[in-house]
Chains A and B, each alone.
Chain A
Amino acid sequence: MTERPLDVLIVEDEVLLATELEFLVGEVGCNPVGLAMSSDEAVAMASDLRPDLALVDVHLRDGPTGVEVARTIHDKCGGVALFMTANVKRLPDDFAGACGVIGKPYSEHGVKTALSYLTICLREGRAPGQPPIGLELAPAYAERWGLSGLPQAV
């Protein structure tokens, strides 16, 4: 169990959102390692930088490719993806291997609490409680982090 900050990759084609997100990531004590704007960039950076967490928008510069990016990160890069999208309802049921989703539009506070919460989950392999408002966990991760059977907050 290490106390080093989480390395976070941001996958987002809206540069203003990405820039602001970088600040937020830094403010909660994580380490923003890079910004990818297309699926190719995202997969390349995820393979090179091996981030602990990737914040992935579904719509990237080359189309709605974020879902495949999340799947690749999960299958091949050993990292955990978290969707940040306005299209929560369009995500596949298995979340493409991602640990959950933050729906857009999110608030500064919502993202910060979600990141702090996920930091604990990833470090300790257990959730400290129900996920905060604004964060929805994938069923597989809710189970892995010991939340199965508990009622899910919406």
Chain B
Amino acid sequence: MTDILRSERAAEELAAEHTVGDPFAAAIRATRMAMIVTDARQADNPIIFANDAFLALTGYHREEIIGRNCRFLQGPDTDPAAIATLRDAIVKGEDVAIDILNYRKDGTTFWNALYLSPVRGKTGEIAYFFASQLNVSDKKRVEFELGDTRERLEAAVAARTADLTHALQQKTALLHEVDHRVKNNLQLISSLLLLQTRRVTDPGVKNSLRGMLERVSAIATVHRRLFQSDDVERFDVSAFVRDLVSDMVGATRRDDITVRLDLERIDVAASKAAPLALVISELFSNALRHGFPPETMEGRTGEVFVGITRQDADFRIEITDTGVGVENSASSGGFGLTIVQLLCQQLKARCQTTPADPGTRVVVYLPVNGVHH
């Protein structure tokens, strides 16, 4: 007996068990879900039943498939791993649900959501396999498209990130270059002023040049401090004052003047750093240079106090000396004080000068939020 004949015989036996009046058989024949039954007891597990939906889905005629193993549905692009899973489930007699690429008679493909399950006879041995096929090509296409889209998006994001990283590196390099040039130019300006100070003999001119050198140094200190910190947006005023004071006191070489500091840490916006630094430098220099004329000291020692604190909505910067007082000071007054006035105007700060008995107290009130309330 040929295989085909045996399969037909098996099909007849199956049909005999489920005659015309059997509602389950009628349902399986008529359902829109493609279904087949294979005979597990025959060699190579051939198809013995296929419903119309299966024929419609695959494009085969019934007589072309009865008696054949259903692997004719597989083709070159069918995933071998999916085939292995299927085979494994059949060997073990287990259920399996898997999406697998199948081929129609005309060679076109469809994605098959395959469900395969053993059917056991009365004695428990596997008599048949039952399989249902659902065409899920549309769902699969959407999945693939989504996957493609995601891959394209990921590639676009990666490319953009690389661009931005490169741009950031360039900007950082540029920033370093500019910072470097600014520092070198400030150094150049200082050196020019120092060189000329060495040449001139007129004490008035020498003093003016000294004053300018101090101002340039104050700006240079600001710049060094700004780029030393991690945050180039904020400027630590107290750290600046420590640098400035140490430098200016050291440069005056006056052992008879001591400096007392009481500095709370305050940060101001970087845009305010240079004007504020110039104000402090000017006031401190004034106290140092004009508060204590050597001929008035007579063995006494003088003190300059710098205090920085926050008072309500203001930063309060105090510079007090125990010197001869404003009215007795030989301060040129002119240019230095003009600078202080102009810059306070720019900073929206108030500057108050009062007698300290002895000496002078200058207090600058700088609004924390940029405006006075």
- Point out residues on A near B: beta carbons under 8 Å: 14, 16-17, 19-21, 23, 59, 86-87, 90, 103-110, 113, 132-134
CB–CB A86/B183 < 8 A:
yes
CB–CB B247/A20 < 8 A:
no
Q: Please give the distance in Å from A90's CB to the nearest CB on chain B.
A: 8
* CA of A59 to CA of B180, assembled, Å: 10
* CA of A132 to CA of B249, assembled, Å: 13
Q: Please give the distance in Å from B246's CB to the nearest CB on chain A.
A: 5
CB–CB B247/A86 < 8 A:
no
CB–CB A104/B195 < 8 A:
no
Residue B207 at the A interface, CB < 8 A? no
CB–CB B243/A133 < 8 A:
yes
26 contacts between A and B (CB under 8 A): A14-B188, A14-B191, A16-B192, A17-B188, A17-B191, A19-B195, A20-B191, A20-B194, A21-B191, A23-B195, A59-B180, A86-B187, A87-B176, A103-B224, A104-B187, A105-B187, A105-B217, A105-B220, A105-B223, A106-B187, A107-B190, A107-B217, A108-B213, A109-B248, A133-B247, A134-B243
Q: Please give, as numbers and ranges, the residues of chain B lying within 8 Å of A20 by CB-CB distance.
A: 191, 194-195
- Return the CB mask of B183-221 against A: 1 if under 8 Å, else 0: 110111011101100100000000000000100010011
Residue B251 at the A interface, CB < 8 A? yes
Residue B121 at the A interface, CB < 8 A? no
* CA of A19 to CA of B195, assembled, Å: 8
CB–CB B251/A86 < 8 A:
no
Q: Please give, as numbers and ranges, the residues of chain A lying within 8 Å of B186 by CB-CB distance.
A: 104-105
Q: Please give, as numbers and ranges, the residues of chain A lying within 8 Å of B187 by CB-CB distance.
A: 14, 17, 86, 104-106
CB–CB B251/A109 < 8 A:
yes
* CA of A59 to CA of B184, assembled, Å: 10
CB–CB A16/B188 < 8 A:
yes
Which of B176, B186, B187, B248 counts the most chain A CB atoms within 10 A?
B187
* CA of A132 to CA of B246, assembled, Å: 9
Nearest residue, chain A, Cβ from B249:
A109
CB–CB B184/A108 < 8 A:
no
Residue B179 at the A interface, CB < 8 A? yes
CB–CB A16/B195 < 8 A:
yes
CB–CB B191/A86 < 8 A:
no
Q: Please give the distance in Å from A53's CB to the nearest CB on chain B.
A: 19
* CA of A135 to CA of B190, assembled, Å: 18
- Return the CB mask of B39-65 against A: 1 if under 8 Å, else 0: 000000000000000000000000000
Q: Please give, as numbers and ranges, the residues of chain B lying within 8 Å of A106 by CB-CB distance.
A: 187
Nearest residue, chain B, Cβ from A27:
B198
CB–CB B184/A14 < 8 A:
yes
CB–CB A110/B247 < 8 A:
yes
Q: Please give the distance in Å from B239's CB to the nearest CB on chain A.
A: 9
Q: Please give the distance in Å from B263's CB to the nearest CB on chain A.
A: 15
CB–CB A87/B180 < 8 A:
yes
CB–CB B220/A108 < 8 A:
no
Nearest residue, chain B, Cβ from A14:
B188
Q: Please give the distance in Å from A121's CB to the nearest CB on chain B.
A: 18
Q: Please give the distance in Å from B78's CB to the nearest CB on chain A.
A: 60
Nearest residue, chain B, Cβ from A21:
B191
Nearest residue, chain B, Cβ from A87:
B180
* CA of A106 to CA of B190, assembled, Å: 9
Complex partner residue of B247 from A19, A104, A109, CB under 8 angstroms: A109
Q: Please give, as numbers and ranges, the residues of chain B lying within 8 Å of A17 by CB-CB distance.
A: 187-188, 191
Q: Please give the distance in Å from A84's CB to the nearest CB on chain B.
A: 9
The 5 closest A-B pairs by CB, nearest first: A86-B183, A105-B220, A109-B251, A20-B191, A105-B186
Q: Please give, as numbers and ranges, the residues of chain A lying within 8 Å of B192 by CB-CB distance.
A: 16
Complex partner residue of B251 from A19, A105, A108, CB under 8 angstroms: A108
Residue B334 at the A interface, CB < 8 A? no
CB–CB B250/A23 < 8 A:
no
Q: Please give the distance in Å from B213's CB to the nearest CB on chain A.
A: 8
* CA of A29 to CA of B159, assembled, Å: 60
Q: Please give, as numbers and ranges, the residues of chain A lying within 8 Å of B243 by CB-CB distance.
A: 133-134
Q: Please give the distance in Å from A77's CB to the nearest CB on chain B.
A: 26
* CA of A23 to CA of B199, assembled, Å: 12
Q: Please give, as numbers and ranges, the residues of chain A lying within 8 Å of B224 by CB-CB distance.
A: 103, 105
Q: Please give the distance in Å from B330's CB to the nearest CB on chain A.
A: 23
Task: Given A20-B194, A86-B187, output 4 extra A-B contacts at Cβ < 8 Å.
Answer: A105-B183, A105-B223, A107-B247, A133-B247
Q: Please give, as numbers and ranges, the residues of chain A lying within 8 Å of B250 by CB-CB distance.
A: 109, 113
Q: Please give, as numbers and ranges, the residues of chain A lying within 8 Å of B213 by CB-CB distance.
A: 108
* CA of A108 to CA of B213, assembled, Å: 10
Q: Please give the distance in Å from B193's CB to the nearest CB on chain A.
A: 9
* CA of A16 to CA of B30, assembled, Å: 102
Interface residues of B in 232-264 (CB under 8 A from A): 242-243, 246-248, 250-251
